[in-house]
Structure 1
Amino acid sequence: MPFEVLKDRNYALYLGGNTVSWIGTWMQRTAIGWLSWELTESASWVGAIVLAQYLPLVFIAPIFGVLIDRMDRRRYAIACLLLQILLNTGLFVIHALGLLNIYALLACCVLLGIGNAAYQPIRLTLIHDIAPPALLTQAISLNAVVFNVTRVVGPAIGGFSIGAFGVGGTFLINTFTFLGTLFALLVVHIRPSVRNTAAGSVLFQLLEGLRYIKSVPKFLELLILSVAIAAFGRGVLELLPAFAGGVYDRGSSGLATLMAVAGVGGVVAGVLLSGTSSRRSLVILITFGCALQGLFVMLLGLSTLFVLAVLSIFGIAAMSTLASIGMQAVLQADLDSAFRGRVVSIWGMTTVAGPAFGASILGALAQVTGLPAASILSGVVCTIVCIVVMWRSHFFPLGRDSTL
């Protein structure tokens, strides 16, 4: 039965709390992006602000992927959530006092990024200690579906929230949404996990995780595709404030429309994946998403009409959701549990930080070429990387000796 894991009260509480928190997080990131555009009207600044939120993930999250296996996971997760509540409250207060200029916003985003980097690995690994062991694969798939859907639904709600309550109101709403996850962590049963007592420094164990990924060709291919999809596919979605305000001159209402369409694309893809049971079908959907992602990004750059941009955004969100959820499900199902914390933290780094890097590169390039041309180039790079990796692979249908 599809998603039978939802009958488990323990898992359902955890997923429900996370869902509320995820929606609030994506609402706030949309508000931050729009505020950075209002303050500067610069695509490069929008990209820099996005990068500031995600850059700490590159340097901190993989390290915590090692540390989490050595610590009590419930206490660690609760401490991270309390830190995020404190930081987000500070952001709201600074904005309410009228002190949030672009430089103060940049500093706040760096701090928020550090808090998120500390929590990201535990969010991705804690599900293994909460979901029923017999339904673990299903729980991972559902968790990935909900996260990726909220990644596009949250910004859509955020666009409407900015128009209704303003940027400050959206910041405040996000602060309260963290209480959902906090409540869940306080009441759910978390199975005790064996703590890592292996010898070796944090850096040594992190390098072990990287060597493990390299030793399994399928995992290395998935990681490369994840980077390409995140940076050169989803990266343009991080610049939607610049598209709405600078390219199409539609203001916050135009941003809300684009975000809503992205949300619909993510939901459609999530529903499609939820009904996928066979391994072959899952891999075919991943291939489909990777192959078409770059084409929709190019179409966005070529779109002179707002309606074409809407269609392009739908395609980008749907294809990226198909690819990212599918690849995570395959990775989690086949991963050696001895390396789970380290590999999942590296995977999370690419999927979350990738769009920020892509947005920063595209934002800087847009200052020279214009945003549409930068989008076209991004789509070309995404398409080339995805097709080359899948063509040389033995795992994907495009590969000459594919075994799926």
Structure 2
Amino acid sequence: MAPNDSAGTNGTTAPGTKGAVAGRRKAVRYIVPVAVAGVAAATIGLVPALASSGDPDLPKITAQELIEKIAASDTQQLSGTVKISTDLGIPSMGGLAGSFLANGADGAGDKGSASADPQTRLTELASGTHTLRVAADGPDKQRVSILDNASEYSLIHNGDQVWAYDSESNAVYHAKGGADRGEGEHRAAPDGVPTTPKALAEQALKAADGTTSVTVGGTAQVAGRDAYRLVIKPEQSGSTIGSITVAVDAENGTPLKFTLQPSSGGKAAIDAGFTSVDFKKPDASTFSFTPPKGAKVTEAGEAEGHANAGAEAEKAKGDLSALEGMNGMNVIGKGWSSIAEIKTPGGAALPSKESGDVPAEAQQFLDALGDKVSGKFGSGTVFKTRLVNALMTDDGRVYVGAVTKDALVNAANNAG
């Protein structure tokens, strides 16, 4: 079993640090861009996979060497099954997302074109447990399928073509192009959607600075492969993140499993991992798609045009117009305890049910998360999850971060 060996990120500059940073930047370029996690996972189903064969006996490795191993990994081809779930301490997002989009631009509960739009469907990964089948062949070919009991939703990226298909509604979404994303940014998923365990690991390693402890926490077996455990822990108080553990393939350096434990304890809040994986080149047919007979096909431009048409969409646009002139975001603090402060223009109040700007179902969802607070800043409401919390003051300021409620209140009290 590998020792708990620090990577030297607790405020001093360890030898090779610059090389490690450059390595991490290289690793970002080589991330296999398969959208599998949404806001992923607390995977109870992965526990037996980690424990059944015991901890493999692997050569000793330091945290610095393990980080460099991840950075050197150039996994471009794989296929497998990922089991993910999320426990953020919020109600299920299924069917609710449309409440925030002008009562569902395509109609609430409509099983038509909107049901295949990735912007809508991938939000389902923000809660619950999901099984996904994934495949990738370089930066231009990826596929991810969300498997339900009696249906399947697939998202396919092949060159300049992106297809999405919902078998339950027989709806198809099609987008073409994507060259404007820049080198290495072609992907099947919308921007901002978390991807593979490797992508999640790279995001975590970006925070491995003077506010972070990085160690090797032993070994494991994930999806039948030997792996090292890289453990990342914030060294600051006030963060809602307790630790992040990344299981790294001992042979090729590919992260196989990502687990985030909240500082409040309990089961994992985010965990995404392979239950089976194969690093061979997937068959070319995996990335081919032809709309089934009778399917309703919606082009990306048509969907956007429909969403912006009609009185309801115009009302939604007006509701958000007050936010267009927001001041530049001010970041308070650093590292894991950093808090973003945003001010609405002229101290305008945020949209609410009382003003008619927020649908009643959405407001009920927000109220279930909120705690009324007060202090030197005045009064406001803290909206809570197990990870990210936000304080919205009554005079139109927003403080948000992966920090505790007390940290948000202190930031508001000390803000000028």
TM-score, normalized by the shorter chain, greater than 0.5: no
Q: TM-score, normalised by structure 2?
A: 0.29
| More helix per residue | 1
Higher relative contact order (CA 8 A, sep 6+): 1
Q: TM-score, normalised by structure 1?
A: 0.30
Larger Rg: 2
